Amino acid sequence: MLRTPCDDVSVFDETVVALCKDLLDTVTAAEGRAGLAANQIGVGLRAFSWFIDGVSGVVVNPRLVATEGEQDGDEGCLSLPGLWYPLRRAEYAAVEGVDAAGSPVRVEGTGLMARCLQHECDHLDGKLYVDRLERAIRRQALQQLLDG
């Protein structure tokens, strides 16, 4: 499921509201989580939540609409526990989508928020952060995954 692009949400009903609540509850339940995509909990719909610096939210049908600058830093993922590798991302990112009721939203930020927005949009496109690692580092990450 993590390698399959997620489908857009087309009907905004109680199922979508429940999904958004589940995403928010899950991302805020434990320390160390910045974001969570729907496909990480087995749902193939375009939605993700975030919890950064005490602020949480959810975006349905997000699209990355702007990036600027560069930042270096280690990145990890709930789907690949224990793996942290250096990955260059944009320093600023903006995502547009809708909320659980279908009303337009725009989420933007720098630093960790920008990294989160890019990471979660990648998830919804069927990509993992290890896919973006430099070749030698990616080989090391994949070997670590195989070694368990």
pLDDT digits (tens, 9 = 90+) for 52-73: 999 999 999 999 999 999 999 9
For the chain, the domains span: 14-147
Band of pLDDT at residue 146, cut at 50, 70 and 90: confident
The pair of three-digit structure tokens given for residue 8, joined into one six-digit string: 């857009």
CATH architecture of 14-147: Alpha-Beta Complex (3.90)
Asked if 68 is an active-site residue, the reply is: no
- pLDDT for 32 beyond 70: no
DSSP string, 104-127: EEEEEEETHHHHHHHHHHHHHTT-
Among the options 70, 91, 96, 120, which is catalytic? 120
Q: So what's the pLDDT on residue 142? A: 86
Rounded CA separation 92/113 (Å)? 8
pTM: 0.94
